[in-house]
Amino acid sequence: MPDLFDAADEEEPRQGSPYARTALDRLSFTLKLRERGYRDTALLRAFELVPRESFAPRRYADLARRDIALPLPCGQTMTSPLVIARMLSLAGIDANCRVLEIGTGSGYVTAILAHLGGEVVSTERFRSLAIEAEGKLREFGPDKATVLHADGLASLGQGTFDRILVNGRLGVWPERLVATLAPGGRMVAALGGSLAVLSRAAAGGEPQQTLHEPVSFSPLIPDRAAAL
């Protein structure tokens, strides 16, 4: 697997802010994403500011700087960084966007979303993951994100959203999520075996679907977990 986040030399000790990185770290990180075709300055900066190793389980922290998925408690998974970057690029999030994330997991993507967008609402079906993610977000993310222990496929009573990011595989677009997509909005998910985007025109009307490259995600499971 490609080593997405490795710096050219050994890392210097981190001091001060948890966001602090050496100039070499930042340059190496940004260049390796740029080499893979990412040019959006806000996207690159958001990835730079959120340390993936701080969101990964401690036993996998040494692998967090590689472009691989990592196991989480409750049978969940941290998506690989390049897949995350692709999903966020397809979503096209800016500071004016109200964002819904389905599947908080570790909170890593939530923190990146908080750097990219306006208000972020993230749902997690496992209470223990939601609680831990909230703690991480207080430490590593701007104060723009709310984590709900909730079924992301149910009615949340949170209004409409400009962008919806689904961290899981869908068989069909859930009607309740489609109904919360604002005019001009966009939803990104794995639909079957491919990344897919559902876009609603600014004038409203029926949303349109586009399919992209193959991707492997676990199926999204409805309902809050009975335990954990």
Q: How far is CA 215 from CA 15, 218, 220, in A?
A: 37, 10, 14
The Cα 124–Cα 135 span in angstroms is: 14
Per-residue pLDDT tens over the stretch 134-177? 999 998 878 899 999 999 998 889 999 999 999 999 999 999 99
The Cα 141–Cα 157 span in angstroms is: 24
Question: In one letter, which amino acid is 88?
Answer: L
The Cα 52–Cα 58 span in angstroms is: 11
Q: What are 169's strand-pairing partners?
A: 190, 219
The residues, any chain, with a CB within 8 Å of residue 61's CB and separated by 6 or more, are 53, 54
Q: How far is CA 147 from CA 18, 105, 173, 212, in A?
A: 21, 10, 22, 29
Question: In one letter, which amino acid is 81?
Answer: P
Q: Residue 49: its pLDDT value, please?
A: 87
Element (DSSP H or E) covering residue 127: helix 127-140
**Pairing of β 194-199 and β 208-214:** antiparallel
pTM over 0.75: yes
Burial of 77 (C-beta count, 10 Å sphere; 0-12/13-18/19+): middle
Closest of 173, 175, 112 to residue 140, by C-alpha? 112
Q: What average pLDDT does the structure give for the chain?
A: 87
Q: What is the band of 10 on the pLDDT scale with cuts at 50, 70, 90?
A: very low
Q: What is the band of 24 on the pLDDT scale with cuts at 50, 70, 90?
A: low
Per-residue pLDDT tens over the stretch 52-109? 889 999 999 889 888 899 999 999 999 999 999 999 999 999 999 999 999 999 999 9
